[in-house]
Amino acid sequence: MTRLSGWRMYFDGAANHPGYGIGVLLVSPQGDHIPRSVRLTFPDYHPTTNNIVEYEACILGLETALELGIKQMDVLGDSNLVLRQFADALATLASIVDIPTNVVVRPLLIETRSAPAYCHLIDETEVQDDLPWFHDIRQFLRYGTYPKAATVKDRRALRQLATRFVICEETLYRRSVDGILLLCLDRASADRVMREVHAGVCGPHMGGHMLTRKIMRAGYFWLTMETDCCQFVRRCPECQRHGDLIHVPPSELHALTSPWPFSVWGIDIIGKISPKSSNGHEFILVAIDYFTKWVEAASYAKLTSTRVDSFIRSHIICRYGVPHELISDRGAHFRAEVETLLQKYGIQHHRSSAYMPQTNGAVEATNKNIKRILRKMVETSRDWSEKLHFALWAYRTSFRTPTEATPYSLVYGMEVVLPIKTEMGSLRVALEQQISETEWAQARFQRQRRLRAADHVQAY
């Protein structure tokens, strides 16, 4: 390498379990050594990777060179990516360089940085006023004013952005594509909603994109919600510990259609489960409706055909009526009393074979999802039976890709009121608290008339 002015800069970044650190060593033409070390304590919404650590180390060295008035120098490091586009901790750098005894080394100052370098711009003019992201939009809609430093282009962008928002009783809402008003949240409220919906009482620990859709269906919005949800899921310990390891390539789905809700049910067994629950249960009997994807489940210590018969009576027939078909495997639990019950009510019984396992694939997929949710919900290895009802709630209120809706909305005709809605507030809860019983009954009656009219038009 050709020497430019005699100055040399060595930089490196280190990442380990306690945290992240960067180090820089400047060597003058006279042989003086100027070390500098910084510990990175970035918040969670600033992702930290090995490449970012290397960039921060390089930027730290360049900032130090500017402070010393250095115009030209040689930049040396061990990161190939950083070197092509423009290394162990500071102790490693110092151990590599041979420092003579007559050379003066300045004292090392350990610093701490709470944000990446791009957040600390030279000649920074932006003022951190702790205002929410929608402050300018709300001010424009309410008073028609623009930010003081806004240019003509900024004002035009603000006007276009404000067309998607509306103020209702001093509260800002964002109008979604289907016309639903979503409550705009600030940073603190958004973090609380993500934590509750993802890992709360009814949190199924879904993926980032699915978490975004569930929050929007709950009635909340902020600009960076999809990115924030994906990063939140990556930081979830339970999701990382119990994440799925997919070793099979994607294949075509074999969908079984159902003419109407609760017409065709699939039933299967999970177990034996080890260890047993605190009440001695080690089996879970699962049933799913093929139309709405609604799931019923119960845990048992021992599973016989008599208990399967009781489950079908109490959880399916007495709640949703007599189905047309019931699909199961060829296990001994679905014979004897079960066959007698199905013949009594005229229910067709279809058994899947080992040659066609996809016949009952909907139940198998449901079993996998329920086990995944339970693994992330349990606090001890023996309380899984107590968490089963919450896992079912999480599954029923989650968006299902085949139906483009939640099972709860298909069964009850409306979305569920999640606990976070009563804590944070939403437009639906606010309106329901203000409407009278007479107005509520009239609204339901009008809605039923519209549905009957729509059915009549389709039939005609």
Convert the pLDDT of each residue in 184-242 to its tens digit: 999 888 999 998 888 887 778 888 888 998 888 888 899 899 999 999 988 888 887 77
pTM of the complete model: 0.56
Q: Poorest-confidence range of 71-85, 369-383, 404-418, 438-452? A: 438-452
Predicted confidence band at 311 (pLDDT cuts at 50, 70, 90)? very high
169 or 172, higher pLDDT:
172
62 or 112, higher pLDDT:
62
Q: Is the pLDDT of residue 361 over 90?
A: no
The amino acid at residue 217 is R
Q: How far does CA 389 lie from the centroid of its chain? A: 21
- Residue count of the chain, please give it: 460
**What's the confidence (pLDDT) of residue 417?**
78
67 or 415, higher pLDDT:
67
Sheet arrangement for strand 8-15: 74-77, 8-15, 20-27, 33-40, 110-113
Other beta carbons less than 10 A from residue 331's beta carbon: 15
Predicted confidence band at 181 (pLDDT cuts at 50, 70, 90)? confident
- Where helices occur in 97-186 by DSSP H, the ranges are 135-143, 152-162
**What's the confidence (pLDDT) of residue 254?**
61
pLDDT tens digits for 89-108? 444 544 445 556 666 656 55
**What's the confidence (pLDDT) of residue 438?**
61
329 or 118, higher pLDDT:
329
Euclidean distance between CA atoms 23 and 138, whole angstroms: 44
**What's the confidence (pLDDT) of residue 79?**
55
**What's the confidence (pLDDT) of residue 107?**
55
- Burial label for 362, CB within 10 Å (0-12, 13-18, 19+), is buried
Euclidean distance between CA atoms 198 and 210, whole angstroms: 10
CA angle, 440 as apex, 439 and 445 as ends, to 5°?
A: 95
**What's the confidence (pLDDT) of residue 123?**
42
Beta strands in 1-61 (DSSP E): 8-15, 20-27, 33-40
Q: Poorest-confidence range of 22-26, 118-122, 132-136, 298-302? A: 118-122
**What's the confidence (pLDDT) of residue 239?**
80
Euclidean distance between CA atoms 236 and 65, whole angstroms: 40
Euclidean distance between CA atoms 194 and 208, whole angstroms: 10
Predicted confidence band at 315 (pLDDT cuts at 50, 70, 90)? very high
Other beta carbons less than 10 A from residue 126's beta carbon: 8
Euclidean distance between CA atoms 333 and 303, whole angstroms: 7
**What's the confidence (pLDDT) of residue 91?**
45
Q: Is the pLDDT of residue 84 over 60?
A: no
- Report phi then psi at 269, rounded to 5: -125, 140
pLDDT tens digits for 109-141? 555 556 665 555 444 444 456 788 888 999 899
**What's the confidence (pLDDT) of residue 68?**
86
